[in-house]
Structure 1
Amino acid sequence: MGQARVNEHGKILILATESCAYPGADSVGQAHASYPPNTYILKVKAPVLFPEQFYLDCFKKGIGGIIIMSCGEECPYEGAYKAMAQRLDNIYALMKEQGLDIRRLRLTAICTVCNRAFLNEVNQMNQVIEELDRPTQA
């Protein structure tokens, strides 16, 4: 059997808030549901704490897609979700300047028991990076 081709830009980084999205990811594991093995979850207090350059650096270092999973409007840090949504606009502009497809970065709200939503987001991002990284035919 041949070895599967490893896509160097196929990694998905999930920034999961410790109060909502990370327990949601944990519930996916407890339910014995599976998601693509190229997914890496980082537990964070609030994604808004990461500067804009962090996201660009991730893409430069080989991350194919980033999903920011937060609590949404129920965030325990007042104004953090709105601030993150506004920051995202700036990051999208920087991504466009660098020729990066903005579909590689997504903000979504995931609750502590949102198994289907979690899996849906991961699978959608996986499809996006597969599409974007597919070699074009000459």
Structure 2
Amino acid sequence: METGAQTHEGKILILATEACAYPGADSVGQAHAGYPANTYVLRVRSPVMFPERFYMDCFRKGIDGIIVMSCGEECPYPGAYKALAERIDRVYQLMKAEGIDLHRLRLTAICTVCNRAFLKEVNDMNRWIVEHGPVQWKKAA
């Protein structure tokens, strides 16, 4: 790294389902394992409740990466995971239209004791953000 060069420590937002992923995140703390301080965990009932614009607004307000940690097919709400996957696909289309790299949004399943998987997702996103910098929007024509 050059002298005086700066690295971007972006912000990571995690939407963690209260039934699966949030207890997984909690198990990371119980294991006294650390993850980057630029990570914000939001406990949610079901991430399918967040509309497409929510994600775009997060990027506009300075979030550099979003990880949606769900229960996957084990979701306690029938049809919610399929609806969530479809919603994330629509968000990807909005991201493409704005020139935002799709790696900035991830959908993953995390179980109640998956602290290694939780840490891997967070650390992978953090490395990617440090390497690629802040969100780049399409230039207005």
Name the CA distance, whole Å, in 2 between partners of 1:125 and 1:29: 19
- Give the TM-score normalised by the residue count of structure 2: 0.88
Q: Which residue of the partner structure matches residue 61 of structure 2? A: 61
SS at the partner of 1:16? strand
Deviation string 1:18-75 (CA, Å, 9 cap, x unpaired) is 0100000000000000000000000000000000000000000000100000100000
Name the CA distance, whole Å, in 2 between partners of 1:15 and 1:38: 14
Name the CA distance, whole Å, in 1 between partners of 2:40 and 2:97: 26
Structure 2: which amino acid aligns with 1:86?
A: E
Deviating 4+ runs (over 2 angstroms): 5-8
**Matching of residue 92 in structure 1 with residue 86 in structure 2:** no
The answer as to whether partners of 2:12 and 2:67 remain within 8 angstroms in 1 is yes
Over the residues paired in the alignment, what is the CA RMSD in angstroms? 1.3
1:18-97 equivalences under 5 Å are: 18-97=18-97
Name the CA distance, whole Å, in 2 between partners of 1:106 and 1:41: 14
Count of residues in Structure 1 that have an aligned counterpart in Structure 2: 129
Q: Which residue of the partner structure matches residue 104 of structure 2? A: 104
Structure 2: which amino acid aligns with 1:121?
A: E
Name the CA distance, whole Å, in 1 between partners of 2:103 and 2:11: 14
1:8-23 equivalences under 5 Å are: 10-23=10-23
Identity across the alignment (%) = 72
Could you tell me which runs of 5 or more consecutive residues in structure 1 were left unpaired when the two chains were aligned: none
Could you tell me which runs of 5 or more consecutive residues in structure 2 were left unpaired when the two chains were aligned: 1-5, 135-141
- Give the TM-score normalised by the residue count of structure 1: 0.90
